[in-house]
Amino acid sequence: MTTSPLSALPLHSRAHDKAEAHDGEGPVQRAAELAALHRAADAGQAAAAWVRELAGRQESEDHARALEHAAAGIERASHQEVIPGGSGELAEELRYALAADVLLGATHTVTLPDLAPGERMPLVAVCAIAAAMPSCVLGDLPRELTLLADELDAATAAGRAATTGLAW
């Protein structure tokens, strides 16, 4: 008596149907995630470039370094820290670099960074939005990250408008 070759085949299950359905959506989902990741990285680079412009006009090297540190944090939080499948948490040093106290500059100085009132709010917004980006991996990454990237661009544009409107 021989064993039927059919017994070696896996049994059909609903879990298998769900896995196949998910795999069918996989490439589309991955493409959407990749597009959102690129969008966020581009927005982060543009925001960081504006913050570096703010750093470049500081008379105090300490304030310039604080703003440069924030710019590097914006780039990292909007790109390298957005890890699909990751924890969605922002590294401690980035939380510090992107905190609202970037408006105060270097803490040991007795002066504030040279920022116009129209630049302060966009600077805080840029830092806060960048800090929120890594958490998108815990939800609907393409939708949430694209929305944050759009808001990051809007905050950067507001900051650039304030900077351009000033006679430096």
What are the angstrom distances between the C-alpha of 161 and each of 50, 77, 92, 131? 11, 24, 31, 22
Q: At what angle do helices 14-56 and 141-164 cross, to 10 degrees?
A: 10
Is there a domain that residue 17 lies in?
no
Counted domains in the chain: 1
Tens-digit pLDDT profile for the chain (168 aa)?
Answer: 455 444 444 444 444 444 444 444 688 889 999 999 999 999 999 999 999 999 999 999 999 999 999 999 999 999 999 999 899 999 899 999 999 888 887 777 788 899 988 999 999 999 999 999 999 999 999 999 999 999 999 999 999 999 887 644
pLDDT of residue 6: 40
pLDDT of residue 13: 43
Contacts of 39 (CB under 8 A, 6+ apart): 145, 146, 149
pLDDT of residue 11: 44
Is there a domain that residue 105 lies in?
yes
| DSSP 3-state percent helix, strand, coil across the chain (nearest 5) | 75, 0, 25
pLDDT of residue 106: 76
pLDDT of residue 25: 61
Is there a domain that residue 49 lies in?
yes
Is there a domain that residue 77 lies in?
yes
pLDDT of residue 166: 63
Range of the domain at 85: 43-164
